[in-house]
C-alpha cells in the first residue's frame, strides 16, 4: 500500500473531537486542527496589530503576514496574489460578483445559467441581480446519477447567456463537476463562468488556470480554517473593470467631498479593517491540508464514501443520493422516517450528521423529497465512524420498526 492509499489517522490533531464522538458534518463546517488554532492564538496573543496603516514595526510585520496569507491562498488554487480578494466566505464572494460584475454588465434580455443542484448562495444573489436588471435565469438538469448534465448545458446555452454559475462539488450529492468542459461550453457561447468551490477545495486539487474559469470562490471554515474568512479569485481584467462593493477605509486612493478615487484590486474590494487573524488561520489551514496532500485526502474520503454507501445500502428502504464516486459526501433517506428524526437518534448515539434541505431546496424538489440525512467526511474520520454510522442506523430501524 502506497502512502497515498494508506488511511489517514489524524483525529488527534483535532481537540474539539472527543473520543467516541463521530463527527460526520464536515460539509457544513470542518473541525479545526491544532495548527490552525495555534496560528489564531499566536495572531491575537503575540503579534496582533492592524495592517496596511501603521508605521510601527508590529503593524508592518502583521501586514507582511497578512499579505503572505493572500499569497498562500493564491498558490493553493493556482492564481496570483493580486487576483485574490479576502471576503467573509463564499456567500459574500458570490454576492460581490453578482453586484459588481453581473449588476454592471447584464442588461434586460440577458440570461444566467445555473444548475438544479446549486446551494441557495449560488441561486439567490443571481435572482436578486436578475430582477434588478431584467435578466432571466435558466437551469441545467441533472443526469440519472445526479451530476450536472453538461450535454444538456451544451444544448441549452445561447448567446444571451452572459454568466454561468455552477458548483464544483455538490454539497448534497458530492458529485464532481468537469469544470474544464463546463468552462469551454460557457466560453464557446461568450459567457463568463463562476465556480463555487466550497466543497471542492478541502477535497480535490484546484488549479484555476487549468480549469479555465473566470471566478472561483470558497470559504475557509470548510477547509479546516476559521469562520468569517474566504476568498474570491477572479481574472485580473475582470477585477479591474468592476466597481467596488462597499465603501470605507482602505479601499480608497484619495477622498474628497467632491470625488473619491479607488485603490486597485484586490484592495478596492476590501473596505474597512479586514479579518486579519482569520487570514492567518486560513493560511495555516491551507498549509495543513497541503502537507497531507489533497490527492491523499481525496482517496481517503472516497474510501469512506464507498464503505458508507455499501453499509447503508444493506438497510431496507434506504435511498441513496448522488453518484457512487461522490467526493466525501453521502446523502440518504429512510422510507417513512423524517431525516430530522434520524439526526436526533444519531445524536443520542454520539453521531453528528446533517438533516434538512442543506440550503438546496430546489434540489430537494428535483429529488422528490423534503429533506435528506447527510454524512460528510473529513481527514479525521475513519472506520470507527462508519461503524458508528451503521450502529446509529440500526437504532433508527429498531425504533421505527
Of residues 143, 102, 155, the one with CA closest to residue 125: 102
CATH number at residue 48: 3.40.640.10
Last residue of a domain, one of 231, 258, 290: 290
Query: Residue 3: what pLDDT?
Result: 56
Statement: residue 23 has pLDDT above 80: yes
Q: How far, CA to CA in Å, does 283 sit from each of 15, 48, 144, 293, 361?
A: 19, 16, 38, 15, 33
**339: nearest Cα among 371, 310, 368, 363:** 371
92 and 156 share one domain: yes
Contact 269, 240 (CB under 8 A): no
Instruction: State the residue range of the domain holding 367.
Output: 293-400
CA–CA–CA angle 16, 20, 22 (5° rounding): 70
Where does the pLDDT of residue 4 fall: very low under 50, low under 70, confident under 90, or very high at 90 and above? low
- Per residue in 157-198, pLDDT tens? 999 999 999 999 999 999 999 999 999 999 999 999 999 999
One domain for residues 87 and 100: yes
CA angle 182, 232, 269 (to 5 degrees): 135
| Start-end of H helices in 88-235 | 90-97, 103-105, 124-133, 150-156, 179-188, 208-211
**Do 279 and 330 belong to one domain?**
no
Which residue bears the cell 438538469? 141
203's CB contacts (< 8 A; 6+ apart) are 169, 294, 297, 298, 301, 327, 328
Q: Which of 357, 338, 351, 396 is nearest to 377 (CA)?
A: 351
Say yes or no: 209 and 192 in one domain.
yes
Number of domains in the chain: 2
pLDDT of residue 53: 83
The chain-wide mean pLDDT, for the chain, equals 97
Cell 440500526 sits on residue: 394
- The pLDDT-based confidence of 154 (bands split at 50, 70, 90) is very high
Statement to judge: residues 214 and 66 lie in one domain: yes
For residue 7, what pLDDT is reported?
A: 80
Alpha carbons within 13 angstroms on the beta-carbon side of residue 85 total: 34
- Residues in Cβ contact with 24 at an 8 Å cutoff, skipping those fewer than 6 apart: 351, 352, 353, 375, 376, 377, 381, 385, 389
**Confidence band, pLDDT 50/70/90 cuts, at residue 5:** low
pTM of the model: 0.97
**pLDDT at position 86 over 80:** yes
Asked whether residue 230 falls in the same domain as residue 83, the answer is yes
User: Of the listed 100, 198, 213, 359, which one is catalytic?
Assistant: 359
* pLDDT (0 to 100) of residue 2: 55
Give the tens place of pLDDT for each residue, 307-342.
Answer: 999 999 999 899 999 999 999 999 999 999 999 999
Mean pLDDT of 28-53: 96
pLDDT band at residue 272, thresholds of 50, 70 and 90? very high
Mean pLDDT of 21-43: 98
* Residue 241: CA count within 13 A, CB half-sphere: 11
> Is residue 401's pLDDT more than 90?
no
Asked if residue 134 and residue 87 are part of one domain, the reply reads yes
Residue finishing a domain among 242, 260, 290 = 290
Question: In terms of domains, do 267 and 316 share one?
Answer: no
**Active site annotation includes 213:** no
Q: Is residue 276 domain-resident?
A: yes
Are residues 269 and 198 both part of a single domain? Answer: yes
Report the residue count for the chain: 401
Same domain, 381 and 234: no
Amino acid at each position: 500500500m502506497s502512502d497515498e492509499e494508506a488511511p489517514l489517522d489524524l483525529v488527534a490533531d483535532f481537540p474539539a473531537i472527543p473520543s467516541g464522538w463521530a463527527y460526520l458534518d464536515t460539509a457544513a463546517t470542518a473541525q479545526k486542527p491544532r495548527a490552525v488554532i495555534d496560528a489564531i492564538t499566536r495572531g491575537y496573543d503575540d503579534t496582533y496589530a492592524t495592517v496596511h496603516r501603521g508605521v510601527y514595526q508590529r503593524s508592518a510585520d502583521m501586514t507582511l503576514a497578512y499579505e503572505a496569507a493572500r499569497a498562500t491562498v493564491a498558490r493553493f488554487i493556482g492564481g496570483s496574489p493580486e487576483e485574490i480578494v479576502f471576503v467573509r466566505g463564499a456567500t459574500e464572494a458570490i454576492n460581490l460578483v453578482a453586484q459588481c460584475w453581473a449588476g454592471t454588465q447584464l442588461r434586460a434580455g440577458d440570461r444566467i445559467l445555473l444548475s438544479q443542484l446549486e446551494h441557495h448562495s449560488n441561486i439567490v444573489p443571481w435572482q436578486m441581480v436578475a430582477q434588478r436588471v431584467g435578466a432571466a435565469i435558466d437551469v441545467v438538469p441533472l443526469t440519472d446519477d445526479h451530476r450536472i448534465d453538461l450535454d444538456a448545458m451544451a444544448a441549452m446555452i445561447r448567446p444571451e447567456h452572459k454568466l454561468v454559475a455552477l458548483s464544483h462539488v455538490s454539497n448534497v450529492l458530492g458529485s464532481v463537476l468537469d469544470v474544464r468542459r463546463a468552462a469551454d461550453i460557457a466560453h464557446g457561447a461568450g459567457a463568463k463562468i463562476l465556480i463555487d468551490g466550497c466543497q471542492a477545495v478541502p477535497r480535490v486539487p484546484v488549479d484555476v488556470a487549468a480549469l479555465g474559469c473566470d471566478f472561483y470562490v470558497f470559504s475557509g471554515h470548510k477547509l479546516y480554517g476559521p469562520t468569517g474568512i474566504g476568498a474570491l479569485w477572479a481574472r485580473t481584467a475582470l477585477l479591474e473593470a468592476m466597481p467596488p462593493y462597499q465603501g470605507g477605509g482602505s479601499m480608497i486612493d484619495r477622498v474628497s467631498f467632491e470625488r473619491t478615487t479607488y485603490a486597485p484590486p484586490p484592495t478596492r474590494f476590501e473596505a474597512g479593517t479586514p479579518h486579519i487573524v482569520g487570514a492567518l488561520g486560513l493560511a495555516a489551514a491551507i498549509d495543513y491540508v497541503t502537507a497531507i496532500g489533497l490527492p491523499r485526502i481525496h482517496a481517503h474520503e472516497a474510501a469512506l464514501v464507498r464503505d458508507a454507501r455499501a453499509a447503508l445500502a444493506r438497510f431496507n428502504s434506504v435511498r441513496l443520493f448522488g453518484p457512487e464516486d461522490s467526493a466525501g459526501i453521502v446523502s440518504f433517506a429512510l422510507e417513512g422516517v423524517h431525516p430530522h428524526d434520524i439526526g436526533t437518534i444519531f445524536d443520542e448515539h454520539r453521531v453528528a450528521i446533517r438533516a434538512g434541505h442543506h440550503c438546496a431546496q430546489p434540489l430537494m424538489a428535483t429529488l422528490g423529497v423534503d429533506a435528506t440525512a447527510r454524512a460528510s467526511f473529513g481527514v479525521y474520520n475513519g472506520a470507527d465512524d462508519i461503524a458508528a454510522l451503521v450502529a446509529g442506523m440500526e437504532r433508527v430501524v429498531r425504533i421505527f420498526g
